Amino acid sequence: MAAPASPSLLQRAQDFVSEHRRAVLIATAAAVVAAGGVAYYASTSRQPTRRRDVEKGEKKDRKKSKKKSSPKPSKGPIIEERTPKAEEAELEVEKLTAEEIASKSEKERTDIANTFKQKGNDAYRNSKLSQAVDYYTKAIQISPNPEPTFYSNRAACYVSMSPPQHDKVIADCNEALRLDKFYIKALNRRGVAFEGLAQYQNALSDFTSATIFDKFQNQSTAAAVERVLKKLSTEKAAEIIKSRESRLPSYTFISAYFAAFRERPLPTLPENPSQGDQTLILALEALQAADYAHALSFVNEAFVQNLSTTQGEAEALNLRGTFKFLMGDVDGAKADLEESIKLAPGFTQSLVKIASVHMEQGDPQKAFQCFEDAIKSNPNDADIYYHRGQVLFIMNEYDDAAENYTKSSELDDTFVFSHIQLAVAQYKAGKIANSMATFRRTIKSFPNRSEPHNYYGELLLDQGRFEDAIEKFDKAIELEKSKAPPHPPNVLSLVNKGLATYQWKQDISAAEKCCDEALKIDPECEAAVATLAQLNLQQSRIEKAVEMFERQVDLARSEPELVNALTYQYASKSQLEFLQKYPEMAEQLSQIARAMA
């Protein structure tokens, strides 16, 4: 509801990202490799140490696997049996005393340990978990060279206990992974334990390794990665929101929000205006001049200086509430806007803005009630129908939305966004010809506005008509550049052009140029940053991509945007970490990525 026309670039950039999420996650891996990570990691990391011993000890098991590739991730049933059944299975091992065992040869002790492992496996299968733990413990104590499976199987018992013994799972998996760092089951088990202890970063690291070893094919591990990423990002987002100072979002964002309301004349001053009354006028003038920082500080000052009329106070509350909403303080916004309506019942703009607050809180029913209330007191206010159209649009009710936009334009046909949104709703409802006609009509009626060109271009882009789309974006860019100060140009068309160029010709550097130019004009343009992050990933510039994701996190206004940006930041970082731990996997990883590209 904040943006004037809904298929905004930012939204599309995010759709692009989520549609390609898997590809992006894999591309990240490939990017790391191609970025020279191999050379760097190969020179700084130690060789895998224990691998050879383990392989020797498991020769028979290795034969079962036809794959020659090394290192080979360990596979197997829940409880692994990576050694052949001990020939002396019937041996009455439990009767042996410690002295007797100590006197046996290495070979004999190895066999006894394997028998205990077998007994452990049987006990596990019969759900006798603590008995199974005892058997595995014996196997570990007796064996001259305990196998990683002994630890991992014992960890499986701790996982299954209620409550699960996460600390013990982690200790055993640490040992199993020390013996065999490519042990997928142990990685998964330790990941589960870390997740159980809410150590999501560690869990992510283990699940990421496991999913790469599974060549991204294991659905349940992939789901674990996504699940932990979500928990991690959600937790971090809440933390950031709690601790960070509130501040205004980007110019592009604010101006899009205010553009969604028709301009109203300034309120008239009372006969003996107070200082506060005059400061409020300064705030509203600053708003008209698109000087949002001053508008905000003036309106706060007006409250300190006192406003002498209820109407003035209602106006001031409306403006302050709007800024609170823009800065992500949804509850504060609601309080101001509700107070504003108490002072001036039927104040349409406050009612309509409370509807946005309800939408942000996921309550469309209450939003619709606000529109009903607003219509009751002001049935001919064009803003109400436009904003009701926006809510209906978000809910995919395109026919009702189109009717409401049309009604809004009937009441006042000078508002360009009612026309644009009508065209977009028609397009979404599948009435392509109507939509195009509406756009052409709108361009004719608003020859000096960039927006009809921009959004027309977006629809053309959606249809794969790249050349036509870019022509429209160019026109929009030209119109924005000719805008008289103090209004800085809106840079969305620039970012759109970049995206179109990339989709059309895969011309990444031209696309980047557009985004860089957009950021020069509006350094806080989220769409440009989000697009640049993806373009960097595509080009294997992983460090730069991570940097862009971090910037995106800084710019993200709402919690969902923040969660989205954090998800990518963590996903790409965890793959960087993977290659630090497993530098020898670099080549294999790049093969996987190439095969899946």
Residues forming contacts to ligand NAG in the complex (CB under 6 A) are 188, 218, 220-221, 224, 305-306, 368, 385, 388, 392, 400, 403-404, 407, 447-448
Nearest CA-CA partner of 161 in 129, 116, 197, 191: 129
Least distance CB 20 / ligand NAG (angstroms) = 23
**Smaller CB separation from ligand NAG, 258 or 368:** 368
How many residues comprise the chain?
597
- Provide the angle, in degrees to the nearest 10, between the axes of the packed helices 526-538 and 542-555: 160
What's the CA gap between 30 and 593, in Å, rounded?
Answer: 5
Least distance CB 510 / ligand NAG (angstroms) = 29
Least distance CB 164 / ligand NAG (angstroms) = 15
**Smaller CB separation from ligand NAG, 65 or 506:** 65
**Smaller CB separation from ligand NAG, 56 or 64:** 64
Residue with tokens 């050379």: 39
**Smaller CB separation from ligand NAG, 262 or 544:** 262
What's the CA gap between 403 and 207, in Å, rounded?
Answer: 50
Rg (CA), the chain: 32
Nearest CA-CA partner of 420 in 366, 353, 492, 355: 492
Least distance CB 400 / ligand NAG (angstroms) = 4
DSSP string, 265-280: PPPPPPSS--HHHHHH
CA dihedral angle for residue 226, residue 228, residue 229, residue 231, rounded to 10 degrees: 120
Nearest CA-CA partner of 550 in 567, 537, 535: 567
Least distance CB 506 / ligand NAG (angstroms) = 35
Asked if 25 contacts 591 with a C-beta cutoff of 8 angstroms, the reply is no
Least distance CB 379 / ligand NAG (angstroms) = 10
**Smaller CB separation from ligand NAG, 353 or 388:** 388
Contacts of 516 (CB under 8 A, 6+ apart): 528, 532
**Smaller CB separation from ligand NAG, 207 or 502:** 207
Q: Which residues of 386-399 are buried (b: 16+ CB within 10 A; e: fewer)?
A: bbbbbbbbeeebbe
Phi, psi of 231 (to 5 degrees): -60, -45
Q: Output the six-digit token pair for 171.
A: 């200790």
**Smaller CB separation from ligand NAG, 188 or 540:** 188
Least distance CB 153 / ligand NAG (angstroms) = 14
Exposed (0-12), middle (13-18) or buried (19+): which is 222, by Cβ within 10 Å? middle
**Smaller CB separation from ligand NAG, 286 or 479:** 479
Asked if 112 contacts 101 with a C-beta cutoff of 8 angstroms, the reply is yes
**Smaller CB separation from ligand NAG, 403 or 543:** 403
Least distance CB 388 / ligand NAG (angstroms) = 6
DSSP-derived letter for residue 493 is H
Least distance CB 191 / ligand NAG (angstroms) = 8
Least distance CB 367 / ligand NAG (angstroms) = 10
Asked if 343 contacts 310 with a C-beta cutoff of 8 angstroms, the reply is yes
**Smaller CB separation from ligand NAG, 10 or 420:** 420
> With helix as H, strand as E and coil as C, how does 533-582 read?
HHHHHHCCCHHHHHHHHHHHHHHCCCHHHHHHHHHHHHHHHHHHHHHHHC
